[in-house]
Chain A
Amino acid sequence: MLEFLTAFAILIGIYSVFTLGLNVHWGYTGLFNIGVAGFFALGAYAASLLTIRPPSSDQVDDYLYAGDLANRLEGLPVIGALDVWFVAALMAASLVTAAVALVVGTITIRLRGDYLAIATLGIAESVRLVFLNERWLGNGSKGLYTIPRVFDGIVPAQDYDRVYLVVVLVVFAALFLGIRALVHSPWGRVLRAIREDEVTAEASGKHVFRFKLQAFVLGAVIMGIGGALYAFNLRAISPSAFTPLLGTFIIWAMLVVGGSGRLYAPIVGAFIVWGIWSGSQFLPDPLSSPNVRYFSVGVLVVLVLVYAPDGVTPLLSRVRERWTARRRLRRAVAEE
């Protein structure tokens, strides 16, 4: 049970990172990206290819290039709290997704919302097809599976999950605090102005395209880091993880359920949606099938959009307000 809860918490942390990135795109800036899976895959493959062992000589594997950074940097294992190679892998994932997002964004961001959606969907599918078909690069459908452990040799293998949970939480907390600072900064205010009314923002002298491009790259980088975190969790990745359903839709569901444009939406949404998604396996037999999950999460998203368009987070804060109000009332009554 403890192991299940640890694995559950790790995935909530990782999905919160993706949802954080999507919140930067859609929640704060209004960029309709339905190609999350593309940046997810780029980050995961970049981090993995940099750290995996070279292909073995018995030719079971088809990939040609591997960074083997985990072994090469073995001499200097830990800086602060994290392995040097792990930090390098996260940085590589950020750089690759930033580069791709810069190119894609420059071409597509001037497009209207639905064109941007079609463009990002097409790019995500193309990225997945490249990793599936170019076996010299991503080992085809077998995927990459010699991804090293963080803190290998320092922490026993059976404790990996618990340690990795801490790593994920540290990375998430850093990103979350960074985003919180940015959202409240003048830069974040411009983004929200663009989301609400682009023309007015442009008329107030803001370079809308530049701000949108910056937000697009920032969100994509966060998704890339999420991809890297995902790769080091199960330490095996294959193209089947980056389908539009698993790589994009579930993250949208989290953002919508949490309430897009709200700071805590990624955590709340990831907790609820991933809770339904992975909790449903404990239900009695016909309900435990993954097909029921697709159906119920799809219906959940539609219901939230129709009946609670601001997501669940405002409901939670309303509950909290009512609770504090009642407490204040009770205290006032007690004082009298």
Chain B
Amino acid sequence: MFFTARTMSSPAAARVSRVVQSTLAIVFVVVALSHIGLAVNGIFLGSILAMGAVGITLVFGVMRFANIAHGDMMTLGAYVAFFLLVSVLPEHTGLGPFTFGFPLLIAMPVSMAAVAALAVGMDVFVFRRLRLRRANIVTIEIASLGIAIAVRGFVQMVWGTPVRYFPNEGRAHFSLPADISIAPNHLFVSGAALALAIALHLLLTRTKQGKAMRATSDNPDLARASGINTERVLLWTWGIAGALAGAAGVLLVIFNATAQLKPTMGFQLLVPLFAAVVVGGIGNPYGAFIGAMLIGISMEVSTAWALPTYKPAIAFTVMVIVLLFRPRGILGSKG
């Protein structure tokens, strides 16, 4: 942005910029440590944001557009799981220390598959046609806005606007020293997020399909010239992003103390999700993970002074501050 353009022009100014960046980083760490209880919560919120942000950034990597429908894909995932838990699967709550029962472990993969199917369908029926017509990026983006609203309308048509709840029972928190209290569900949330992140890392680095995805993200033309079927790579990317969004939606519900679902729950996370993507360096899945943690911790720690309803504005402010010093995000590539 305009600051950096100016600061990069002289070595002295670049040094000043580096000093300011380190100071900001130190201030962030000190503030987070002084509110360690909130910061720990922020890590849990960050793991949910990471699931969504990694999906957005993967899609951006191969298609160069920020998918606005991602938040509502999360919502749909949560409602699919709700449907399964209430109408299909046996009733059971209180698995181990958690508020939910074993049916959730079945419902979660199913809703991941359902949202992945929706994402692939979106590409086949909408985005591929726009792509073949060489439509402008923003046209594609508006189409994703249209899909976002249609998905939310669908959720509201089927399940209505009132708040719904997963079957759950109250559970005691784990108390740790230094005022840290951890809900057992939060451990499940971050455990599941970590497992999915590791699975994704292995997929991207160890499998042929993952390598093809990274190649397409780096340089689509070169990838196509090397014989990679980029259309199939796109479908894979949409499928993975959809599965992650479905998982994030389910985890978002059990993250909440009363396990509630709202039709707007995903769309409301869009600003923090985009902030995480941009802060980490748009297109970079590892950056999205780091960005999500930074944004999650900032949002939770800010509640020490600001009203909790301001959390999305905090996420946005953190994004602007990071962009001022690193216009390509923390892990963004140069050039």
Contact = CB atoms under 8 A, between A and B. Distances in A.
Interface of A: 26, 30, 32, 34, 106-107, 110-111, 113-115, 117-119, 121-123, 125-126, 129-130, 132-133, 244-245, 249, 252-253, 256, 289-302, 305-306, 309
Contacts of B65: 114
A34, A121, A302, A309, most chain B CB atoms within 10 A: A302
Nearest to B312: A125
Top 7 closest A-B pairs, CB basis?
A298-B150, A295-B153, A294-B153, A301-B146, A122-B316, A298-B149, A291-B156
A211 B215 CA distance: 38
Interface residues of B, number: 47
B137 A114 contact: yes
B313 interface: yes
B146, B157, B307, most chain A CB atoms within 10 A: B146
Contacts of A249: 145, 149
A292 B129 contact: no
Interface string B267-298: 10011001100100010000000000000000
B130 A129 contact: no
A298 B153 contact: yes
Contact of B139 (A121, A292, A294, A305): A305
A30 B139 CA distance: 11
Contacts of A252: 142, 145
Contact of B271 (A110, A125, A293, A299): A125
Interface string B196-228: 000000000000000000000000000000000
B333 to A, nearest CB: 15
B150 A305 contact: no
18 contacts: A107-B2, A110-B1, A113-B141, A115-B323, A118-B319, A122-B312, A122-B315, A125-B271, A125-B313, A129-B313, A245-B149, A294-B150, A295-B149, A299-B150, A300-B146, A305-B143, A306-B130, A309-B139
Contacts of A107: 1-2, 320
A58 to B, nearest CB: 26
Contact of A133 (B150, B307, B316): B307
A291 B267 contact: no
A107, A110, A306, most chain B CB atoms within 10 A: A306
Given A289-B157, A298-B150, A121 B270 contact: yes
Nearest to A132: B309
B323 to A, nearest CB: 8
Given A302-B146, A305-B126, 20 more contacts: A32-B138, A107-B320, A110-B2, A114-B65, A114-B66, A117-B66, A122-B271, A122-B274, A122-B313, A122-B320, A125-B271, A125-B312, A126-B312, A249-B145, A256-B146, A291-B153, A291-B156, A293-B153, A295-B154, A302-B150
